[in-house]
Amino acid sequence: MQNLNNVVYRDLESSQALTSIIDKKLKKLARLSDDINSSRVVLESPHQHKHKGKIYRAQIELAVKGSAIALHKDSDSIHIAVRDVFKAAERKLKETSSKLHSKQRH
């Protein structure tokens, strides 16, 4: 994967520690698949949510050879939302990579 990582904070203070965690998780995804062209992570706190309290959303968009992967997770903690969205992205990336490689074999 080329170094086209983009982390965007919306309605949140940017955090160097959180950005560092996201970079490590993106590097892990890059080790799983060489087909990732670019990535974008959006961290936000949506307004007027139906639940009481603060809700955070973590979104990830991966440009993968032949397709795009876009996922989001909501939680009351931004760290949990980031963890969950990266777990989901890892599962989806493995699934997409295995489909892509099985098509190339046939």
Tens of pLDDT along 44-82?
Answer: 987 765 656 788 999 999 998 878 899 999 999 999 999
The whole model's pTM is what? 0.84
Query: What CATH number is attached to the domain comprising 25?
Result: 3.30.160.100
- Is 96's pLDDT higher than 70? yes
Domain limits for position 97: 5-105
Of residues 20, 19, 81, the one with CA closest to residue 46: 81
Q: Which two tokens stand for residue 93?
A: 């990336």
Strands (E), the chain: 5-10, 36-44, 56-64, 67-75
C-alpha 106: how far from chain center: 30
Number of domains into which the chain is organized: 1
